Amino acid sequence: MPRIYITSVFVDDLAKALDFYTNTLGFTAKVDLDLGGARWLTVVGDDPDGTQLLLEPDQHPAAAAYKKALVADGIPATSFQVEDVEKTRTELEAKGVSIVSGPVSFGPNTFIVIDDTCGNLIQLIQGPVDGAAQ
């Protein structure tokens, strides 16, 4: 069975994205490779050997259009699980992060949607995201 190794989010500015995802959300930089005019930049959560998030430049016209369409429709580009969504919301607001919606509860889950400052909406969810009761 394959496992998720890397997933990506399109960003409009790599330096700004690295700052947001590390200093604001608390991820850790994992790989930063200069590819001769391009850059391979990933971050990880609390497991240094876990799934990497590739901060992918949105230079391709389809990527920029995709991001704009998602934001216009209020659809998050990706979701991250948090232990305590209310605590996370309070901490992010103190850092100046724009909370786009929430907290909203559905079943055992509660989520907020934030603006990542790089052209994306990101969902932060607390609860058993598989839908199972705790």
Q: Is 112 exposed, middle or buried (0-12, 13-18, 19+ CB in 10 A)?
A: buried
Residue 58, domain CATH: 3.10.180.10
Question: Counting Cβ atoms within 10 Å, is residue 118 exposed (0-12), middle (13-18) or buried (19+)?
Answer: buried
What is the tens place of the pLDDT at every residue in 2-20? 999 999 999 999 999 999 9
121 within domain boundaries: yes
Number of domains within the chain: 1
Is 1 a member of any domain?
no
Identify which has the larger pLDDT, 131 or 51.
51
| pTM given for the model | 0.90
Range of the domain at 78: 6-126
User: Is 131 part of a structural domain of the chain?
Assistant: no
Residue 134, domain member (yes or no): no
